[in-house]
């Protein structure tokens, strides 16, 4: 029988991505599937703090082993901003967030940045963290229609196109999230082998 594990998200895209990697050995349950419709607190000032906070909430209130993720964009010349505030940077949606970021980088030639994801896994009494980073640069204007968030203004290292132009197949191979999920999967699959 497959071992059940909860991914503290209802984001269908993230669930699909993770289930595709873990699916053979684990049944990955969403928050909806465990009957959780709560507004889970996310008030820490680091990605790892938020990921741990979300995972701990599920463990405490629903009793499942689980993992949670938190990610964002960190711009070098802005001291790592917007960071944990990536989703709420402008107070508006993604378009307003990109406008604000491009405005804050006007006249700046140093445009290095990175996307970062941290996944917190809570199994039994243990907490494990997995991190994924993709380095790149911020463009001067939006390019491409695909993706979400800051994708139209981020060009990953080794490419000339933005995440929005590259498409999901390439993005899902090289992204911060993919890297963190791969590390999580490697750990979980190793654990299964030890247990069986």
Could you list the residues that contact ligand IMP (CB under 6 A)?
A: 70-73, 86-87, 115, 147-151, 163, 175
- Nearest approach, Cβ of 70 to ligand IMP (angstroms)? 5
Pairing mode, strands 66-75 and 3-7: parallel
Q: What is the DSSP letter of 106?
A: T
For residue 100, count other CB atoms closer than 10 A to its CB. 15
Which residue is associated with the tokens 């790592």?
80
- Nearest approach, Cβ of 44 to ligand IMP (angstroms)? 12
Nearer to ligand IMP, 58 or 149 (CB): 149
Select which of 45, 65, 69, 70 is catalytic: 70
Nearer to ligand IMP, 24 or 38 (CB): 38
73/85 Cα distance (integer angstroms): 9
Active site residue 38: no
- Nearest approach, Cβ of 123 to ligand IMP (angstroms)? 21
Nearer to ligand IMP, 59 or 176 (CB): 176
Find, among 139, 120, 140, the residue nearest to 130 by Cα: 120
Find, among 196, 137, 195, the residue nearest to 163 by Cα: 137
Q: List residues with catalytic annotation.
A: 70
């Amino acid at each position: 029988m497959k071992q059940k594990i909860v991914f503290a998200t209802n984001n269908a895209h993230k669930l699909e991505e993770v289930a595709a990697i873990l699916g053979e050995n684990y049944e990955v349950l969403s928050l909806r599937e465990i009957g959780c419709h709560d507004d889970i607190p996310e008030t820490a000032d680091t990605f790892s703090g938020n990921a741990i906070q979300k995972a701990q909430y599920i463990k405490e209130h629903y009793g499942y082993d689980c993992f949670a993720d938190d990610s964002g964009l960190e711009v070098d010349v802005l001291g790592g901003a917007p960071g944990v505030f990536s989703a709420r940077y402008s107070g508006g949606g993604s378009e307003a967030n990109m406008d604000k970021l491009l405005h804050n980088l006007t006249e700046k030639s140093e445009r290095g940045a990175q996307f970062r994801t941290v996944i917190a896994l809570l199994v039994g009494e243990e907490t494990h963290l997995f991190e994924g980073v993709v380095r790149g640069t911020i463009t001067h204007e939006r390019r491409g229609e695909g993706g979400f968030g800051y994708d139209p203004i981020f060009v990953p290292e080794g490419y000339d196109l933005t995440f929005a132009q590259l498409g999901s197949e390439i993005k899902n191979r090289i992204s911060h999230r993919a890297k963190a999920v791969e590390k999580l999967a490697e750990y979980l699959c190793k654990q299964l082998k030890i247990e069986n």
